């Protein structure tokens, strides 16, 4: 063994304690071989390298050295496209502002589809749904598609509706909807599975070369944020529409351009063959098929999250949302995966969806035992719990994969939709940790940006990373400490990917994924978290970003 690299600092957070101490990490190949006091690590390296030369030594002074961040939940394809010149992202102040922003995109892209993501009508003034008419006036002959910020709703113009085959008499797929006006005409708003079904046709307008270049750009963005590992999760429940482009990842890996580890989670259906094929092909540390993704409900803001009791602002009798997959079908899927030892990650936002998913996962565990090799099932998002379910995740060894910046995306929304009593159990991070639940942090990009400091800021302050509201934090008793947030963003996310044994801490035998930060997040004031910059990012001991 030869030590290739030593990373030193006065502040090293290994993840095995709650503080940072002076230390060093020695790397051989792509793994850590020693960690501890600087003198001890240098002595270890000198002995290991007798007769073969000295290792490279990178001393970062008093910068904070931490395990590389791991985004446990993102959608790589859409994140890459929306952060590239192919499309754009924005919230917009209102419908007219969004149209004006699309006109600016049209100047940059003079032909083909115009695509954007990010609008949230409940944050507009006035908070009204848009329609095709405003887009038609600006773009009478060019297809335009705007995906909502929560990635559950499409806003289309008439040309896009025509090209996609959505007509007056079109019947949406199960779990989806085409909004219609009082005359029965499509308004241009397409929801849930109906929207998801159309996305491949829209995205098909881009060439593979354009997509590959977009992936390169997004990998660079991840590295700049200290993100060394991601979970690429299926975006859609329908077979063949998950946008998990393993072929693009594999091509980049073959060219040694994959600078973040990628864990693939395609859609769980009754056919396990696609995943099993990936699992056999991708066995290298940089690219693996880690498990499945399924979807049990939608989102609270659109009343499509599945609740046990009607929404507080119910739009009709028994307005409880709905499961996107019948519970009996979900049970069949999950049990089939569990029998083979494959983990499943289930989109669950409403309390009914969470409860039903836990019941299924409990049955799977009773029938087939714990998953092998440290793998974990996960519940994704987990925005609204029944009190009786808060302790069940730890009991069943289910990871709570949450995205802290989501908490304040819709100010006042949980109170509006769920009422004060149920809101008490919204994103209960402190409570879950106190019950020994493993938290895994991510962004759900492109729903929110892969800005690592925003993730940590939101977790410890429960304030919006843009507005810094509300003062004192939303439901402040559920705030968590920075060491806990760092562990959720490293070790917890590694657990969600089934790789806790080799990712998430700076210890001998672990993969050498490391981020170096210019502020000590463990001691700095909350207002300085977002001022922190990544100085360097190492994946497998290779420097993939340096400021």
pLDDT digits (tens, 9 = 90+) for 172-186: 998 789 999 999 999
Q: What is the pTM of this model?
A: 0.95
Distances from the Cα of 238 to the Cαs of 204, 232, 241, 406, 528, in angstroms? 17, 16, 6, 25, 43
Decide yes or no: CATH 3.40.430.10 for domain 87-203: no
Residues 6+ apart with CB under 8 A from 174: 193
pLDDT digits (tens, 9 = 90+) for 306-360: 999 999 999 999 999 999 899 999 999 999 999 999 999 999 999 999 999 999 9
Question: Where do you find CATH 2.30.40.10 in the chain?
Answer: 5-68+531-546
| The pLDDT value given to residue 468 | 98
| The pLDDT value given to residue 356 | 98
Kindly provide the residue ranges of all beta strands, DSSP E only, lying in 109-151, ordered along the sequence.
114-119, 144-148
User: Mean pLDDT by 10-residue block, N- to C-terminus, for the chain (547 residues)?
Assistant: 97 96 98 98 96 95 98 97 95 96 95 95 93 98 95 95 96 91 97 90 93 98 98 83 94 98 96 96 98 95 95 96 95 98 98 98 98 97 97 98 96 96 97 98 97 98 97 98 98 98 98 98 97 98 98
Query: Which of 281, 176, 274, 222 minimizes the C-alpha distance to 74?
Result: 222
Question: Where do you find CATH 3.10.310.70 in the chain?
Answer: 87-203
| The pLDDT value given to residue 174 | 83
Structure tokens at 335: 């049990």
| The pLDDT value given to residue 236 | 78
Structure tokens at 78: 């859409």
Query: What distance in Å separates the CA atoms of residue 246 and residue 282, rounded to the nearest whole number?
Result: 9
Contact 538, 514 (CB under 8 A): yes
**H, E, C per residue of 283-349:** CCCCEEECCEEEECCCCHHHCCCCCCCCCCCCCCCCCCCCCCCCHHHHHHHHHHHHHCCCCEEEEEC
| The pLDDT value given to residue 150 | 86
* CATH annotation of 5-68+531-546: 2.30.40.10
Q: What sign does the CA torsion over 494, 478, 446, 173 have?
A: positive
| The pLDDT value given to residue 536 | 99
pLDDT digits (tens, 9 = 90+) for 215-243: 999 999 999 999 999 999 998 776 667 99
CATH fold of 70-75+208-503 reads TIM Barrel (3.20.20)
Contact 535, 518 (CB under 8 A): yes
Structure tokens at 311: 């929404």
Question: Where do you find CATH 3.20.20.140 in the chain?
Answer: 70-75+208-503
Burial 91-126 (b: 16+ CB within 10 A, else e): ebebbeebbebbeebeeeeeeebbbbbbbbbbbbee
| The pLDDT value given to residue 196 | 86
Query: Which of 300, 495, 302 minimizes the C-alpha distance to 407?
Result: 300
Distances from the Cα of 209 to the Cαs of 213, 214, 215, 287, in angstroms? 6, 9, 10, 20
């Amino acid at each position: 063994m030869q030590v290739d690299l030593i990373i030193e600092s006065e502040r090293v957070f290994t993840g095995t304690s709650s503080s940072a101490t002076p230390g060093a990490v020695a790397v051989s190949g792509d793994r850590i071989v020693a960690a501890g006091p600087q003198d001890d690590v240098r002595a270890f390296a000198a002995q290991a390298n007798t007769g073969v030369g000295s290792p490279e030594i990178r001393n970062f002074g008093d910068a904070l050295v931490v395990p590389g961040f791991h985004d446990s939940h993102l959608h790589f394809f859409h994140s890459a496209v929306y952060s590239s010149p192919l499309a754009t992202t924005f919230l917009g102040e209102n419908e007219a502002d969004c149209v004006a922003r699309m006109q600016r995109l049209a100047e940059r892209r003079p032909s083909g589809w115009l695509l954007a993501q990010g609008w949230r009508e409940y944050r507009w003034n006035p908070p009204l749904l848009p329609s095709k008419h405003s887009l038609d006036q600006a773009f009478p002959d060019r297809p335009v598609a705007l995906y909502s910020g929560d990635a559950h709703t499409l806003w289309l113009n008439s040309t896009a509706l025509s090209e996609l085959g959505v007509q007056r008499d079109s019947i949406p797929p199960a779990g989806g909807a085409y909004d219609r006006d009082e005359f029965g005409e499509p308004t241009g708003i397409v929801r849930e599975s109906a929207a998801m079904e159309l996305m491949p046709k829209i995205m098909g307008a881009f060439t593979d070369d354009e997509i590959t270049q977009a992936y390169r750009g997004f990998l660079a963005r991840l590295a700049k944020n200290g993100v060394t590992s991601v979970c690429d999760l299926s975006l859609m429940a329908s077979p063949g529409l998950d946008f998990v482009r393993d072929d693009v990842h594999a091509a980049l890996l073959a060219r040694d351009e994959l600078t973040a580890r990628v864990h693939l989670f395609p859609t769980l259906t009754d056919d396990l063959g696609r995943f099993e094929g990936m699992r056999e092909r991708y066995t290298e540390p940089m690219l693996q098929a880690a498990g499945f993704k399924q979807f049990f409900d939608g989102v609270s803001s659109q009343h499509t999250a599945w609740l046990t009791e009607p929404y507080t602002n119910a739009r009709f009798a028994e307005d409880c949302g709905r499961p996107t997959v019948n519970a009996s079908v979900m049970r069949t899927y999950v049990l089939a995966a569990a029998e083979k030892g494959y983990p499943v990650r289930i989109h669950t936002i409403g309390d009914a969806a969470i409860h039903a998913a836990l019941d299924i996962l409990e049955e799977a565990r009773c029938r087939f035992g714990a998953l092998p090799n440290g793998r974990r099932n996960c519940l994704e998002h987990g925005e609204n719990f029944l009190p009786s379910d808060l302790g069940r995740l730890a009991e069943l060894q289910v990871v709570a994969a949450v995205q802290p910046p989501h908490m304040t995306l819709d100010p006042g929304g949980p109170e509006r939709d769920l009422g004060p009593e149920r809101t008490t159990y919204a994103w209960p991070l402190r409570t879950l940790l106190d019950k020994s639940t493993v938290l895994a942090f991510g962004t759900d990009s492109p729903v929110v940006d892969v800005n690592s400091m925003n993730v940590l800021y939101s977790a410890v302050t429960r304030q919006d990373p843009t507005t810094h509201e509300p003062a004192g934090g939303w439901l402040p008793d559920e705030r968590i400490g920075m060491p806990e947030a760092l562990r959720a963003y490293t070790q917890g996310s590694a657990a969600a990917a089934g790789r806790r044994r080799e990712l998430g801490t700076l210890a001998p035998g672990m993969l050498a994924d490391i981020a170096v930060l210019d502020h000590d997040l463990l001691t700095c004031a909350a207002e300085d978290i977002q001022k922190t910059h990544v100085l360097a990012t190492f994946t497998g001991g290779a420097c993939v970003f340096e400021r």
